[in-house]
Structure 1
Amino acid sequence: MKNAFTPVLAVLLALSAALAPGHALAQATTAVDGIVAVVDEDVILRSELDRAVNNITAQYANTPEQLPPRDVLERQVLDRLVLARIQLTRARDSGIRVSDGELAQAIETVASRNRMTQDQLRQRLAADGLSYEEFRASLRDELLIERLRQRYVQSRVQVSEAEIDQLLAVREIGGPEVRLANIVVALPEGASPDEVALAQKKARDIKAVIERGELDFRAAAIRYSDAQNALEGGDIGWRALDAIPPAFVGLIQQMQPGQISEPVRGPSGYQLIQLVETREQGRQTLTEYNAQGIMIRVTPTLPAEAARQKAEDLYARIQAGEDFAKLARENSDDTLSRNDGGDMGWFQLNAWGTAVGSQLAALQDGQVSRPFQSDAGWHIIKRLGVREQDVTEQNRRNQAREIIAQRKAEEEFERFLRQLRSEAYVESRLSAS
């Protein structure tokens, strides 16, 4: 597969047709198709694993040296398939569903993000040997897993204002952001000193391979990393320093883009961390408008034409010099602003709808719009002012909230996955297949 898709889609396509039971490949008889894993009452077939692995190798057809040996790649992919199968089973047992309409919208989103029409997406899938139905099934599975995650963490993750204050007091929010990648050499629970020393040596050897120029970091991650993001070249993405575990922040702040750390011991083993690039966050502003409004609602007793005529009459009275606020209090059907003389407060351009927003953008301060129609009724808007509001502090608090929530969500879901994995019956037959 030529690497023309976004990274997320490329991985999705690589694993398509191998995530869920019931696909055409999963219906082959075991008499001619060996079993590579048993997952509770389900199985993963050799054909499923081969299809997923072959899709990945096709994606790297021009750079096959970036992939690990076949047996290592099969183990990485099988681990993903097993965990995905467990999550899909739990999602379906929990009553989570994805409608055809929701799936169609997701496909449209995938196509647009890759700057394709849906017909072009179909053609590209066919060119890469993947049926459209397999792609749809795989995308549905991805949505089911994401909804399982959302449902599980939603009720378990709460962020208090005190937690936000505490984070802001000890960390700089809204500062530089870093894009990171990592390579993980995993250690088992309760690893022996010999196992720890061996993992550390392996991490150092991987770094030496990169420094000698035999592989770049991405290729080394694909070949050697034990992390779930190995097949994405170890890419972690953009993170604010506040979203990084404190133990790593000092280390990363001393690195230059492109630099790779020495092996660092983490909860899952030894890591090599690459600082890919950095970017600054500047002062953040938001354009806000202040306006007064009168709305005449269309009702069964006041049809559209009568409402329009009433708005025209009020506009004529405003143009003749009558007070806008007084007319709003006496005539407006907008209960949110009527008692304040139609004062709508300060708001972003389209906060009251695109019809109001387009009128505001065309007005100058002090000008009154002619009557115009929206879904709610007929309107007259007077623009009072416009300002650039500094929302840096507000965004800092929102960022802090998101950082804490994301961290808690990741921790909660990681515990949940470990629990699911420990409760499931998994028998790997890969070596014997």
Structure 2
Amino acid sequence: MSKTSLLQPAFTGLLAAALALAAPARAQLLAGPGANSGSVDSIVAVVDEDVILKSELDRAVANVRNQYQGREAQLPPENVLQRQVLDRLVLMRLQVARAENTGIRIGDTELNQTLQSIAGQSGVSIEQMRAQIEGGGLSFDDYRRSVREELQMRRLQQRVVQSRVVISESEIDQFLALRNVDSTEFQLANLLVALPDGATPEQVATAEQKINGIKALMDRGEIDFRAAAIRYSDDRNALEGGDLGWREANSIPPRFAELIQGLQPGQYTAPVRGPSGFQMVQLVNVRQSGPQTVTEYQADHLLVAVNDVVGEEAARRKIDELRARIESGDDFAKIARENSDDTFSRNRGGRLDWFSGETFGPAVTQQVQALQDGQLSAVFRTEAGWHVVRRIATRQQDVTDENRRQRARQQIGERKAQDEFERFLRQLRADAYVESRLGA
């Protein structure tokens, strides 16, 4: 078995957890209370050869309102909220269509596993989740389709980013030479009053007046920054309260980095004119980074794969026999070279040189951590087959420099990925035929 296949169980679990924790965007929009069944449906947008119906928009808007139950005053006026939600639905529809056209498919097995993960994260069974969704006015088939489309969009984003973002070691070296990645990290939020390209002086004056008025409301304590962003911001993250996530100082535009350095958590900058319009940034929270050490292991590994050729019982008998030979004194390396299905370690006599606890997945980690140096594990099962490991040694490894390079890679990658995917979405939107019929 290759290193990739050895890693597969851990990777699959992490991916499922990530998808479960990140509530699907389309499902989140569409899984709210149903639209008024007595209303006459109509088309609110034409997207290439597809349409978005008023009932779909109403359901999405109703779900946003449901999420802000008791805080309805934080939401923008109805016409603005409808426009924001419709813009999201249009982009979702375009991304799903592009995913379909480029061959991105989500099979029933992957979809069912994701739904199980979503239900598990919510502490309910699939049947209970179905009842909750149908009780909210959405069919479970529609919810399944929404989750499938969200998975397609995520796969499309991964494909776009992976095909366009390349980070070289020399680029990391240059980044580290110019910037300190061990700097303080800041959690930020923003509020944007947008200006069109080639804005007239009157439009600039109106936008400036608007953002100054918003700031005055916040200064008087009549509304907090998050609520103001939800209600007034023109940015795509408005409904998330303007959340920008955690940023290191080096990844923040210099103009705003200087401004937030003097802020305390919860405070916000004065309005600043930028390329997209007038903007304010809030410092939500601050955290420090520092040195880090991890426990690393050296171990010998033996795998008997379960596949179409070797069934479950035969694989178990073989691994039991091989373990008995090792325990009786036969050479582990010789046995591994002759019998192991792990092609990554087989040619090295099964040796797995220094690796951290999560490298090969939770099952291997659990076994290695429970052993003493020189001790042989019991046989254990993973998705790949039956394993035996022998722990050779442990050490504490300073991974500060490795983490610095990883943080640098992450900062470069996040910036490039965001820029590239935003560019992709703009081009996707520009190339499409979109006709909004809101208010028609």
Query: 1:100: Cα distance to partner?
Result: 1.7
Instruction: After superposition, give the CA deviation of every residue in 1:84-124 in whole Å (9 maximum; x if it has no partner).
Output: 22222222222222222222222223233334333332233
1:369 aligns with 2:383: no
Q: What's the offset of the Cα at 1:64?
A: 1.4
- Paired residues of 1:40 and 1:426 also in contact (CA < 8 A): yes
- C-alpha distance in structure 2 between counterparts of 1:220 and 1:358, whole Å: 48
Q: Relative to 1, partners in 2 of residues 1:114 and 1:73: Cα closer, same or farther, differing over 3 Å? A: same
The 3 A distance-change label for structure 1 pair 309 and 218 is closer
Query: CA separation in 2, counterparts of 1:296 and 1:69?
Result: 62
Check 1:239–1:296 CA distance in 2 against 1; reply closer, same or farther (3 A cut): closer
Superposed, 1:252-271 pairs within 5 Å as: 252-271=260-279
Q: Residue in 1 aligned with 2:328? A: 316
Q: Give the Å deviation of 1:223.
A: 1.0
1:142-153 equivalence runs, <5 A: 142-153=150-161
Which one is further off, 39-48 or 353-362? 353-362
Distance apart, 1:332 and its partner CA: 3.9
Q: Which residue among 71, 90, 115 is the counterpart of 1:107?
A: 115
Match of 1:321 in 2: none
CA distance in 2, matches of 1:377, 1:8: 33
1:341, 1:159 → 2: CA distance? 34
Give the TM-score normalised by the residue count of structure 2.
Answer: 0.81
Deviation string for 1:322-361 (max 9, x for gaps)? xxxxx34554425766787765432234656766544433
Equivalent residue, structure 2, for 1:61: 69
Task: Write the distance in 1 (CA, Å) between the matches of 2:332 and 2:28.
Answer: 60
8 Å Cα contact 1:157/1:405 also seen in 2: yes
SS at the partner of 1:261?
A: coil
Question: Which residue is equivalent to 2:190?
Answer: 182
Distance in 1 between residues matched to 2:377 and 2:96, nearest whole Å:
56
Q: Confirm whether residue 277 of structure 1 aligns to residue 285 of structure 2.
A: yes
Report the Cα distance in structure 2 between the residues aligned to 1:223 and 1:430, rounded to whole angstroms. Answer: 19
1:304 and 1:36 map into 2 onto residues whose CA distance is 60
Cα deviation for residue 260 of structure 1 reads 1.0
2:216 counterpart residue number: 208
Relative distance call for 1:389 and 1:407 in structure 2 (3 A) is: same
The answer as to whether partners of 1:218 and 1:234 remain within 8 angstroms in 2 is yes
Measured after TM superposition, the shift of residue 208 of structure 1 is 1.1
Distance 1:7 1:216 in 2: 27
Residue by residue over 1:345-388, the C-alpha shift from the partner in whole angstroms, topping out at 9 and shown as x without a partner, is 322346567665444333333x433774666667472x443222
* Distance in 2 of aligned mates of 1:68 and 1:222: 7
- CA 1:69–1:372 in 2, change beyond 3 Å: closer, same or farther? closer
User: Once structures 1 and 2 are overlaid, which stretch shifts more, 385-394 or 105-114?
Assistant: 105-114
Tell me: CA distance 1:208–1:13, structure 2 relative to 1, closer, same or farther (3 Å).
Answer: farther
Residues 1:394 and 2:406 aligned together? no
**Is 1:162 matched with 2:176?**
no
The Cα shift of 1:44 comes to 2.1
Contact kept? 1:296, 1:331, Cα under 8 Å: no
User: Is the 1:296–1:311 Cα contact (8 Å) retained in structure 2?
Assistant: no
For 1:294 and 1:166, the matched residues in 2 are separated by: 39
Q: Distance in 2 between matches of 1:201 and 1:394?
A: 48
Mapped partners of 2:318, 2:100: distance in 1: 53
The answer on whether the counterparts of 1:7 and 1:232 sit within 8 Å (CA) in structure 2 is: no
Q: Give the structure 2 partner of residue 428 of structure 1.
A: 436
**8 Å Cα contact 2:304-2:318 kept in structure 1:** no
Q: Normalization by structure 1: what TM-score? A: 0.82
- Compute the displacement of 1:317 (Å): 3.7
From 3, 13, 16, give the equivalent of 2:30: 16
Are residue 119 (structure 1) and residue 127 (structure 2) matched? yes
Name the counterpart of 2:420: 412
Q: Which of the numbers 139, 148, 153 marks the counterpart of 1:140?
A: 148
Matched residue, 1:74: 82
Contact 2:99 2:153 in 1 (8 A): yes
Shift of 1:283: 2.1
Distance in 2, matches of 1:353 and 1:206, equals 50
SS class of match (2:164):
coil
Change (3 A) 1:285 1:190: same
Q: Distance in 1 between matches of 2:80 and 2:437?
A: 14
**Letter of the structure 2 residue corresponding to residue 73 of structure 1:** L
The answer to whether the 8 A contact 2:25-2:150 is kept is no
Give 2:271's aligned amino acid. P
CA distance, structure 1, for counterparts of residue 257 and residue 395 of structure 2: 37
**Distance change in 2, residues 1:216/1:131 (3 Å):** farther
1:324 counterpart residue number: none
Structure 2: distance between partners of 1:38 and 1:296: 55
Question: Do the aligned partners of 1:312 and 1:371 also contact (CA within 8 Å) in 2?
Answer: no
Number of the residue aligned with 2:12: none
Instruction: Verify the 8 A CA contact 1:66 1:222 in the aligned structure 2.
Output: yes
Contact 2:26 2:149 in 1 (8 A): no
Change in CA separation of 1:399 and 1:32 when aligned onto 2, cut-off 3 Å = same
What residue number does 1:232 align with?
Answer: 240
C-alpha contact 2:29 2:63 (8 A) present in aligned 1: yes
Q: Write the distance in 2 (CA, Å) between the matches of 1:111 and 1:121.
A: 6
The answer to whether the 8 Å contact 2:27/2:150 transfers is: no
1:97 aligns with one of 105, 111, 114: 105
**Count of matched residue positions in the alignment of Structure 1 and Structure 2:** 406
Q: Which moved more, 1:245-254 or 1:281-290?
A: 245-254
Secondary structure of 1:400's partner?
Answer: helix
1:59–1:328 Cα change, 3 Å = closer
Counterpart residue identity of residue 368, structure 1: Q
**Rg larger in 1 or in 2?**
1
